[in-house]
Structure 1
Amino acid sequence: MSTPNMDENAKLWFGVQLEVTQKLLAAEDRKLEVMHHELSGQHGTLSGLRRLANSRLRMQYDQLNKEYEDAVTGLLRGNTLARVRSLPSMGLKGVHKQRSSLFHAMNIQAGPVKDGDQPDAAATKQLEENVTEIGAVGAEDTHDGLTFARGRVQSGSLSHPDSVPMRVAKLLREWTETYSYDFRDERMMLPFKDITQACASYMDDVKAAVLDIQRVLFKKLNALEQYEAKLKRELELQIKTKNETMSAGKSKPDRNLFDLSQSPQEVAAQLKVIEFERLSAIGPEEFVQTFVRGDQKDEYTDMREAHNVETYVEWFNRLSYIVATEILRTEKKKHQVKAIEFFVQVGHHCYKMHNFNSVMAIVSAINFASVSRLKKAWSKVPGKILSLYEELEWVLEPRSNFKNYREEVASLMLQQDTCVIPIFSLMVKDMYFTEESSKKRLANGDIDFDTMWRLGNRLADFMVLKNAKCKQPRNDDVVRYLKTVPVCSEYELFKLSIESEPPAKEDKERTLGRLKRLETQSQRKTAEKDAK
C-alpha cells in the first residue's frame, strides 16, 4: 500500500518527465504549423505525398498528446496536492512551485506560473476539484504495473522496472556512471543522498538498486582521489630526480631509455599504458569546466574541479621533450642516429597499436628545430626508417582538417574491442569549437538543443574511447622512467644541438640569435617561477 509521502514523492519525480513531454509537444506543434503553411502555398504532383507526410506527423502528435494526458492522469491519482508541480496544457490552473525543477534551473518555464507568483485560494480550490474528478474516474485502473483504486495502490510492486522509483534509479545510475565527477561537489552530493534515501524507503528491489548506485559512485570517486594523489607523487618524484641530478653536478641521469629497453615495441606498449591511464581518468564534464572562462568563472569559484584534461595535455608536451632530450643527450653522432631510428620505430609501433596521441608527440619532437637541424645525423638515417617516418607524417597530415587521421579513427571505432588513443589536443579543439559554433540559447531564451546534441555526440564518442578495454602488459621500470626522468627545456635542447653540430657560416648569425632569444625566455620563466 502507498502512503501520502510516497505519492507526493512520485509526483515530484515524475514532474521532470512531464516537462520534457510538454516541450516535445510544443516543438511538434510548431513543426506542424510550419509544414501546413508551406504546403498551403504549394501545388504539384507531390501534393498527395506532402498531405500524407502531414497526416502521419499529426498522428504522431496526437499519440504523444494522448500519452501526455495519460501520464498526467496517473500523476494526479493521489489525494495530496500540496507540492504538485505546475501542469500546463490540461485546462488546470497551476499552483506555485515549492521547489526548483531540473528545467527551472535552465530557465525553462514549464507552465503558466511565473517565479515569485503566489497561488490564490480560488486557483488551488479549482485544481483540487479537477484532480478529485480525475481521481474518481474508474473504480480500478492499472498504471506502470500497479493497480489503483480511487487513487490508491491496491496491488503491484513499486520495484516494477517501469515504476517511477525504478525510473528514478535508472536516471541516477546513468548520471552517476557517466558524469560521476559532478558529485564531487557537496551541492550535488547532498540532494543525491536525499533522493537515494527516499528511493530506498520503497521495496527491497528499489533499495538494492540505489545501494548499488551509491557503491559504484563512491568507488569511482575514491579511485579519482587515489589517481590525483598518484599524480602528485609523480610530480614530486620528477622534481626530486632533477634536483638530485643537478646537485651531483651531472648534466644528465646515469641511465637512459635504451638501458631499460632495446625494443621499440616494448616502449610503444608502455606508452599506450600511460596514455590510456591518462585518458580514462578524464570525466566528460571536465571538458565543460575547461571551457568556462571570464565572468562565468565567478559562478564556479567554490566548485571542486578535476584537472585531468590539463594533466593529459602536459603529458603530451612531456613526451615530446623526452624524445628530443633522449636524442640530443647522446654525445656521439652514431648514437644520435640510433636514437632517431629508435623513436621513429617506436612511433610506428604506436601507430599500429592505434595510439595516435603518442605518434603525434613523437613526430612533433622530431620536428623540433633542435632535432631537425641535425643534418649530419639525418643523412645517415637508413632509407627504411625514413619511409616509416614519412608514413607517420602522412597519417598526421594537417590538410583538410586532418582528413587522413579522422578517416582512420572513424574506421577503427566501427570495430569491436579496439582500443584507440586519439590525438587529444585535436579532440579538445573539436569540442571547443562545437560548443562555440553557436549560442547556447536561442533568441527567445530557450535552449538550442541542436548545439547540445552536437556537443553530446562529441562527448559520447569520447566515452566510447575512454571505456574501451586496453590490455597491455605493464613494465613498471619503463613506465616509472617515462613519468619521472628529467627533461631539457627548449633552450637547453637548442644549446645541446648547436654543441653537437655547430651552424654553417651562412646560418651562424640566425642560429645564435635564436639561441639568445631562447635563453632570455628561459631566464624570464625561471624568474617568474621563483617569484611565485
Structure 2
Amino acid sequence: MGGALAGGESRPTPLGHTMTEKRFVVGEKRAEGIGELKSSVSINAFSKGAPPNDERKRFFTGSSSLSTGNMIKPVVVPKKKENQDKVENDLVMFSKNFQVQIKGGTLPKIIERCTNESATDNNFVDTFLLTYRTYLNAGELLEMLFERYNIPDPQGVEDVALQQFNEARKIIRLRVGNLIKRWLTHHFHDFNDNPEILNRLTDFVNSTYMNTDPSLGKSIIGQIDNSRKTKERENSFSSPPPKSIIPTKDSFDDFDPVEVARQLCIFEQQMFKSIHTKECLNQGWNSKTNEKKLELSPNVTRMIRHFNDVSFWVQAQILSQKKLDLRVKMMKKFIKIMKASREFNNFNLIQEILAGFAGNAIFRLKKTWAKIEKEKKVFDEYSQLKATLAQDHNYKTYRDVLKEVNPPCLPYLGVFLTDLTFLEDGNPNILPLEGRNDIINFEKMRKVSVVIQRIVIYQQQPYNFTKVDMIYNYFDSLASKTMTEAELYSLSLEVEPRE
C-alpha cells in the first residue's frame, strides 16, 4: 500500500457509550399567580464517563403508561460558586443578542411559558415539544396541560380582578389548545403509538373545548383526523425519474454501480425518514442491551446496524475475489458507487463504503491498494470522497459541504449522533444550583433541538428514483450476506498472506 494510506491515518471507527441511572423528584411549589402549575413529576438526569459500547465499533455511534415516564438521570449539586445563576420565580434568565431568554426553569414554569397569556414564542414551544421526553412522557405532559387548562377561580377577589382573571384564563386556554394542535401536527406519533393517550385527549376536548370554545375544539378534533389520514402522502415531482438500469441476473456482479447507488438512496431514505424525533433524546441508541436500544431508538438502531452491515458486506465482496485483478475491479466498482452517491448527496452511503475500505481486512491489502493507486483518476476520485468525509476538525469539510447541498440529501447520521452525544455528556439536564434540583437546563434543550431539527429537514424531500425490486430486495436481506470481522480478516490473510 502506498504512502497515501500508510502510517497513522484516521479511519471511521467512532465509539458509543453506555449509561447508569438514578432518580430524584421535582420539589412541589405553591402557585403564586394566575395559572401557575405545581407538579411532583419524577425526573432523572444523565451521568457521564460510562465505558464505551463494544458492539460493532464501525459506527458512532418512548411511550409509557400514564404513570411511568422516560425519566432523566441525576446531577450532583455542587457547592455554591461566585456569580452562580439566580433562580427567581422558579426561572433562570440570561441575555443573548440583546434579548432576555430562559436558561432554565421548573417543569411547571416551562409549561406556563409555552401557554403564556401575554405572548407565544413558537421557537420556545417547538424546542419544548422536541425535547420534553427528556423529563416526562406524553401522558404526563398531557395531564399537565389539562391542569393548566383547569385553572381554579381565585378566592376572595373583587369583581374587577375576577374579570381580569377570566380574560387571562380564556387566553391561557386558547394557548393550551394551540399547543395541543401543534403537538398533533408535528409529533402525532406520540399519540399514534399510544391509543390510551389519544382517547384521553379526545375525551378532554369533547368535555371542555366543545363547551368553552367550540371552534377550537373542532379544530383540534379535525387535526387528529388529519394526522390519522396523513400516514403517507403521494410525492409529486416536476420531472420524471431517470430510466432505471435493470440487471439481467440477481447478482451484485451484474448490478450497475449507478443503479446500486439509486436503490440504496431509496432504501436508506425510507429508513432515515422513519426516525422519530423522540429517538434522538437521551442516547437511547447507546443503551446497554439491544432490547433497550430497540425500545428507545428503534429506527436509529436499525440504521446503525444497516451501516455496519454495508461496511462488512463491502469487505466481503472485495475479499470474495481470489485474484488480485478481480479485487481491484471490485474496489473500483465501489468507488463508482460512491461517486454516484456523491452526485445524489447520499453521504451516509459514502461513509458506509469508506468504513468498509478502512476495515482491517481491507486496509492491509498492500498489493490491491498499490494497483488502485496506479490508476490516478480512480484513486483521485476515491481520495476526494474520503477527504470530504474526513473526521479532521470534527468533520469540518463535510459540514461545510452539507450546508451547500440542495435536497434530496441523506446526511451521514453518525455526525448527528456525535453532536447529540457531545451535548448530552457535556451539559447536565438539571442546572447545578445550590439548594435546587428541579431547574431544567432549557438552554441545553435548545441546542439539542437544533440538531434534531436538522435531521427533520433532511427527512422531508424524497428521491425521484424508481424502485428496482431485484436490487432493492438484495439489500433488504443484506444482513445474511455479511461476515464477522474475524472471518473477514482470516479471508484477507488467504488472499494476501503476510509477507
TM-score of the alignment, normalized to the shorter chain, above 0.5: yes
Whether 1:193 aligns to 2:208 is no
Conserved 8 A contact 1:165-1:199: no
Q: CA RMSD in A?
A: 4.5
Helix, strand or coil for the counterpart of 1:331? coil
Distance 1:495 1:423 in 2: 30
Q: Are the counterparts in 2 of residues 264 and 345 from structure 1 also a CA contact under 8 Å?
A: yes
Distance 1:497 1:72 in 2: 68
- Distance in 2, matches of 1:284 and 1:131, equals 47
- Which of 471, 477, 481 in structure 1 is aligned with 2:464? 471
| Deviation, structure 1 residue 25 | 9.4
Q: Tell me the SS of whatever aligns to 1:195.
A: helix
> Out of 265, 268, 276, which is 2:261 matched to?
268
Q: Does 1:336 align with 2:338?
A: no
Output the amino acid matched with 1:386: F
1 or 2, which has the higher helix percentage?
A: 1
Aligned to 2:428: 439
Question: Aligned equivalents of 1:341 and 1:360: distance in 2?
Answer: 16
Residue in 2 aligned with 1:134?
161
Residue 29 and residue 188 in structure 1: after superposition, are their counterparts in 2 closer, same or farther (change >3 A)? closer
Q: TM-score, normalised by structure 1?
A: 0.57
- C-alpha contact 1:270 1:475 (8 A) present in aligned 2: yes
Q: CA 1:164–1:194 in 2, change beyond 3 Å: closer, same or farther?
A: farther
* Aligned residue in 2 for 1:527: none
TM-score by length of 2: 0.60
1:476-503 CA-to-partner distances (Å, cap 9, x unmatched) read 2111101214222222222222222222
Cα shift at 1:318: 0.7
The residue type equivalent to 1:218 in the other structure is: R
Who is 1:215 aligned against? 225
Deviations 1:242-286 (A, max 9, x none): xxxxxxxxxxxx953122x2x221111111111111110000101
Which position in structure 1 is the counterpart of 2:410?
Answer: 421
Deviation at 1:421, TM superposition (A): 1.3
Higher-Rg member (1/2): 1
Match of 1:501 in 2: 496
Instruction: Note the 1:373-522 alignment, pairs <5 A.
Output: 373-381=364-372, 382-412=375-405, 415=406, 418-442=407-431, 443=433, 444=436, 445-485=438-478, 486-504=481-499
Tell me: CA distance 1:406–1:187, structure 2 relative to 1, closer, same or farther (3 Å): same
Aligned partners of 2:195, 2:87: CA distance in 1, in Å?
A: 33
Per-residue CA deviation, residues 111-156 of structure 1 (Å, 9 max, x unaligned), is xx9xxxxx9xxxx8xx43315343468xxx9x79xxxxxx9xxxxx
User: Structure 2 residue aligned with 1:257, among 249, 252, 261?
Assistant: 252
CA pair 440-393 structure 1, distance change in 2 beyond 3 A: same
> In the alignment, which residue of structure 1 is the partner of 2:307?
316
Q: Residues of 2 paired with 1:278 and 1:349: CA distance? A: 20
Letter in 1 for 2:182: E
Q: Which whole-Å CA distance do the structure 2 matches of 1:172 and 1:271 have between them?
A: 37
SS of the residue 1:129 aligns to: coil
The answer to whether the aligner puts 1:178 opposite 2:171 as a matched pair is no
Q: Distance in 1 between matches of 2:360 and 2:476?
A: 24
How far apart are residue 287 of structure 1 and its match? Answer: 1.6
CA, structure 1 residues 305+455, in 2 after alignment: closer, same or farther (shift >3 Å)? closer
The superposition leaves residues 191-211 of structure 1 with CA deviations (integer Å, 9 ceiling, x where unpaired) of 333334346725775454233
Give the direction of change, closer, same or farther, for the CA distance of 1:433–1:268 in structure 2 (3 Å limit).
Answer: same
User: Structure 1 residue 348 and structure 2 residue 346: aligned?
Assistant: no
Contact 1:165 1:206 in 2 (8 A): no
- Distance in 1 between residues matched to 2:87 and 2:409, nearest whole Å: 37
| Cα displacement string for residues 361-383 of structure 1 (whole angstroms, at most 9, x for unaligned residues) | 10111122222333333333322
Give the CA deviation at 1:401: 0.9
Cα deviation for residue 103 of structure 1 reads 11
Deviation of 1:319 after TM superposition, in Å, equals: 0.9
Alpha-carbon deviations, 1:142-197, whole Å to 9, x = none? x79xxxxxx9xxxxxxxxxx977765443223213433333324564343333343
Q: What displacement does 1:312 show?
A: 0.6
Percent of aligned pairs sharing the same letter: 20
Cα 1:473/1:103, change in 2 over 3 Å: closer
On the 8 A contact 2:321/2:327 being kept in 1, the answer is yes
- Equivalent position to 2:271, from 274, 278, 281: 278
How many pairs were matched up? 354
Distance (Å, rounded) in 2 between the aligned partners of 1:289 and 1:188: 22
Query: Structure 1 unaligned runs (5+)?
Result: 1-13, 36-52, 58-67, 74-99, 114-118, 145-150, 152-161, 224-253, 505-532
Measure the CA separation in 2 of the matches of 1:337 and 1:31. Answer: 59
Q: Secondary structure at the match of 1:128?
A: coil
Q: Secondary structure at the match of 1:273?
A: helix
CA distance in 1, matches of 2:382, 2:117: 65
